[in-house]
Amino acid sequence: MNRLDELIAASAGVPDGTPDELGNARAALDAAIVARMRQDSPAGRKAANRWWSGRRGMAFVGVAGVAAAVAATVIVIPSSSPHPATSPRADSSAKPTVKAKAPARAKRTATTPGTSPVSYTFTVASTDVTAAYVFQKAAQSTPDGNAPLVNGWPDAPYWQTVSQIASSTCPGVVETSTDWLARSGAVVVQNVTSGPKSSMTSACIGPTGQSTYPVYNNPSGPMIGGKIYTWSQFSALPTDPARLQSILAADATVGVAPDKGESESDFLFQTIGILLTSDPVSPALRKALYAVWAEIPGVTVSGQYTDSLGRTGTALSFGSSTTVVDISNGQVLAQLDGAPPIPPGCVRATTAGNPHASCVVGGSGTTVYISAGPVSSEPSV
Partner 1 sequence: MTGDSPSDRQLLAALPRQPELMAVLYERHAPAVFRYLARRAGPPAAEDLLSEVFIAALSASSRVVAHDSGSGLPWLYGIALNVLRVHFRQQRPTPGVTRDFGMDWEAVDSRLDAWAERGRLRTALAVLSDPDRELLLLVGWEGLSQAEAATALGISHGAVRVRLHRARKRALHALEKLQDSDPGSGGTHVTTLYSKEQPS
245-259: string of b/e by CB count within 10 Å (b at 16+)? beebbebbbebbebe
Q: How close are the terminal C-alpha atoms of the chain, in Å?
A: 35
Binding test (CB under 8 A) with partner 1, winner from 104, 132, 150, 205: 205
Cβ–Cβ contacts within 10 Å for residue 269, how many? Answer: 24
Q: Whose Cβ is closer to partner 1: residue 48's or residue 237's?
A: 48
Q: Whose Cβ is closer to partner 1: residue 312's or residue 335's?
A: 335
Q: Whose Cβ is closer to partner 1: residue 8's or residue 242's?
A: 8
In the complex, minimum distance from the CB of residue 255 to partner 1, in angstroms, rounded to a whole number = 7
Q: What is the DSSP letter of 129?
A: -
Q: Whose Cβ is closer to partner 1: residue 216's or residue 236's?
A: 216
Binding of residue 81 to partner 1 (CB under 8 A): yes
Residue range at the interface with partner 1 (CB under 8 A); choices 19-27, 114-122, 308-316, 349-357: 19-27
Q: Whose Cβ is closer to partner 1: residue 220's or residue 371's?
A: 220
Q: Whose Cβ is closer to partner 1: residue 249's or residue 274's?
A: 274
Q: CB–CB of 174/193 below 8 Å? A: yes
In the complex, minimum distance from the CB of residue 222 to partner 1, in angstroms, rounded to a whole number = 8
Task: List C-alpha distances in Å: 262 to 290, 335, 339, 356.
Answer: 21, 17, 15, 33
Binding of residue 56 to partner 1 (CB under 8 A): no
In the complex, minimum distance from the CB of residue 288 to partner 1, in angstroms, rounded to a whole number = 20
In the complex, minimum distance from the CB of residue 355 to partner 1, in angstroms, rounded to a whole number = 30
In the complex, minimum distance from the CB of residue 145 to partner 1, in angstroms, rounded to a whole number = 26
Q: Is 29 helix (H, G, I), strand (E, B) or coil?
A: helix
Q: Convert residues 135-174 into a mask of x (bound to partner 1 by CB under 8 A) and - (unbound).
A: ------------------------------x-xxxx--x-
Binding test (CB under 8 A) with partner 1, winner from 106, 125, 182, 189: 189
Q: CB–CB of 375/158 below 8 Å? A: yes
In the complex, minimum distance from the CB of residue 193 to partner 1, in angstroms, rounded to a whole number = 10
Binding of residue 16 to partner 1 (CB under 8 A): yes
Q: Whose Cβ is closer to partner 1: residue 152's or residue 338's?
A: 338
Radius of gyration of the chain (CA): 25
Nearest-5° Cα angle at 10, 6 to 15:
155
Q: Whose Cβ is closer to partner 1: residue 175's or residue 326's?
A: 175
Q: CB–CB of 191/210 below 8 Å? A: no
Of how many residues is the chain composed?
A: 381
Q: Whose Cβ is closer to partner 1: residue 70's or residue 104's?
A: 70
Binding of residue 302 to partner 1 (CB under 8 A): no
Binding of residue 62 to partner 1 (CB under 8 A): yes
Q: What is the DSSP letter of 380?
A: P
Binding of residue 7 to partner 1 (CB under 8 A): yes
Binding of residue 221 to partner 1 (CB under 8 A): yes
Name, in order, each residue with C-beta under 8 angstroms of 275's C-beta and a sequence gap of 6 or more: 222, 224, 281, 289
Q: Smallest Cα–Cα separation from 370: which of 229, 228, 224, 175?
A: 175
Q: CA-to-CA distance for 90 and 135, rounded, in angstroms?
A: 30
Binding test (CB under 8 A) with partner 1, winner from 143, 145, 172, 185: 185
Task: List C-alpha distances in Å: 278 to 165, 193, 211, 359.
Answer: 14, 20, 23, 30
Order of strands across the sheet with 158-166?
A: 217-219, 186-194, 174-182, 158-166, 367-375, 331-337, 321-326, 312-318, 300-307, 120-123, 360-362
Binding test (CB under 8 A) with partner 1, winner from 67, 102, 110, 352: 67
Q: Convert residues 33-52 into a mask of x (bound to partner 1 by CB under 8 A) and - (unbound).
A: x--xx--x------xx--x-
Binding of residue 196 to partner 1 (CB under 8 A): no
Within 257-286, the residues that bind partner 1 by CB under 8 A are: 259-261, 270-271, 274, 277-278
Q: CA-to-CA distance for 329 and 325, rounded, in angstroms?
A: 9
Binding of residue 380 to partner 1 (CB under 8 A): no
Q: Whose Cβ is closer to partner 1: residue 84's or residue 96's?
A: 84
